[in-house]
C-alpha cells in the first residue's frame, strides 16, 4: 500500500516509523553540518567577543601599570643619582667647620683626661690642631691641670681638664 501513496505522504505502520526516523536523522544532520563561517550561527560568539574585549582591556591595564611603575622607579633613580645642588651658605659652612674643630679639640682633651686619671703625664704631641701653641700645664698640690693656650679662637674663655675631673671643661 505504501508504494501507491508515496506522493500523498500516506504510509503504512512500518513505513511511518522509517519515514519519521529519516526526517529526524536529516534534521540532526542539518544542525551539525559545519558552515563556512564558524561564528555565523554560533550562539557563543557574543560571549567569545566579550571575553576577547575584556581580556584585551585587562592586558592594556596591566601594561599601563607596568609603564607607570617603571617610570616612577627610573625617575627616583635619576633624582637620587643627580641631586639638585643647593647653594652653599658660607656662614653655615664656617659654623660647621668651627664646630668640628671644637669637637676635635674636646676629643684631645678627653684623651688627656684619661691619661691623667691613670696618673701618667700626657704626651706633648697630644694637642689641638689649631695654631694656639703648646698646652698650659699647671699644678696645685696634687691637682694637675692642663688648659688650652688660646681658647678664644673657638669663641670660649677656657678649655681645660684635670686629674680630678677627666672630662673637658668648656667655659664661655
pLDDT given for residue 3 in this prediction: 55
Strand-pair partners of 161: 146
Summarize pLDDT for 109-129 with one digit per residue, the tens.
Answer: 899 888 888 888 888 778 787
How far is the C-alpha of 63 from the C-alpha of 61, rounded, in Å? 5
Please give the grid coordinates belonging to residue 70.
617603571
Which carries the bigger pLDDT value, residue 98 or residue 33?
98
Q: Is the pLDDT of residue 157 over 50?
A: yes
Per the model's pLDDT, the better-predicted residue between 125 and 32 turns out to be 125
Can you tell me the distance from the alpha carbon of 149 to that of 156, in angstroms, rounded to the nearest whole number?
12
Task: Report the range out of 33-42, 93-102, 126-135 with the highest average pLDDT.
Answer: 93-102
- Which of 140, 147, 101, 141 shows the shortest CA–CA distance to 122? 147
Task: Please compute the mean of the pLDDT values over residues 146-161 and round it to a whole number.
Answer: 86
Helices in the chain by DSSP H: which ranges? 13-32, 45-81, 90-118
pLDDT value of residue 75: 93
Closest to 18 in 3D by CA, of 42, 2, 41:
2
| Segment 58-76, tens digit of pLDDT | 678 888 999 999 999 999 9
148 Cβ contact partners less than 8 Å away, ≥ 6 residues apart:
105, 109, 128, 132, 135, 136, 154, 158, 159, 160
Phi/psi region, residue 141 (left: phi>0; alpha: psi -120 to 50; beta: rest), is left
Helix (H/G/I), strand (E/B), else coil: 126? coil
Q: Percentage of the chain with pLDDT > 70? A: 78
Query: Where residue 53 falls among pLDDT bands split at 50, 70, 90?
Result: low
Out of 36-40, 100-104, 130-134, least confident range: 36-40
Compute and round to an integer the Cα radius of gyration of the chain. 51
Amino acid at each position: 500500500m505504501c508504494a501507491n501513496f508515496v506522493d500523498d505522504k500516506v504510509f503504512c505502520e512500518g513505513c511511518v516509523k522509517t519515514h519519521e526516523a529519516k526526517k529526524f536523522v536529516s534534521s540532526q544532520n542539518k544542525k551539525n553540518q559545519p558552515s563556512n563561517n564558524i561564528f555565523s550561527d554560533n550562539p557563543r560568539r557574543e560571549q567569545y567577543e566579550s571575553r576577547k574585549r575584556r581580556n584585551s582591556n585587562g592586558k592594556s591595564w596591566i601594561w599601563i601599570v607596568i609603564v607607570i611603575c617603571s617610570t616612577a622607579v627610573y625617575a627616583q633613580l635619576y633624582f637620587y643619582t643627580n641631586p639638585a645642588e643647593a647653594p652653599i651658605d658660607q656662614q653655615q659652612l664656617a659654623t660647621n667647620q668651627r664646630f668640628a674643630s671644637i669637637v676635635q679639640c674636646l676629643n684631645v682633651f678627653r684623651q688627656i683626661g684619661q691619661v691623667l686619671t691613670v696618673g701618667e703625664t700626657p704626651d706633648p704631641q697630644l694637642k689641638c690642631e689649631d695654631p694656639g701653641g703648646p698646652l698650659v700645664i699647671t699644678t696645685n698640690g696634687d691637682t694637675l691641670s692642663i688648659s688650652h693656650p688660646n681658647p678664644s679662637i673657638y669663641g670660649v674663655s677656657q678649655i681645660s681638664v684635670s686629674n680630678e675631673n677627666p672630662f673637658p671643661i668648656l667655659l664661655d
